[in-house]
Amino acid sequence: DTWQLLAEKAKNAYRKAYAPYSKFNVGAAALTFTNKVVQGCNVENASYGLTVCAERNCIAQGVIQHSESEKLQFSALVVYTEQEKLTPPCGACRQVISEFFPKGAQVMAVNHLNEQQHWKIEELLPDAFTPYDLFNKT
């Protein structure tokens, strides 16, 4: 099952998070349309504004690993935390996600209790500003 695999990979990434200030570890795993799985974790910084979320690190790993001959696009993303409340992507991550995922793709939040919630990209950030808006100005 794809969601189960991504949840396991996100949990593994969670264990590598660097979160000494917030103690709020987050792991993420995404699946490309070419069936590659990439992972990311949050990396905090003493200058808090420089912290990078797990979702954006995950997408950046996909950018690094993908072949220039293919257009990078993801089909699914899982965000893992060990919080009682399921954790959706923050606003900055939602904007970056909208750059690389089609509107109908899904994001799943999962926690240590295996509770899950799914959202479509267009639900997380309705009317997102995307590359389409830059290239289709009419």
CB 107 within 8 A of CB 88: yes
CB 110 within 8 A of CB 119: no
C-alpha 42/C-alpha 27 separation (Å) is 7
Residue 138, judged by CB atoms within 10 A of its CB (0-12, 13-18, 19+), counts as exposed
Residue of 8, 44, 55, 84 with catalytic role: 55
User: Is 8 among the residues known to form the active site?
Assistant: no
Active-site positions read: 55
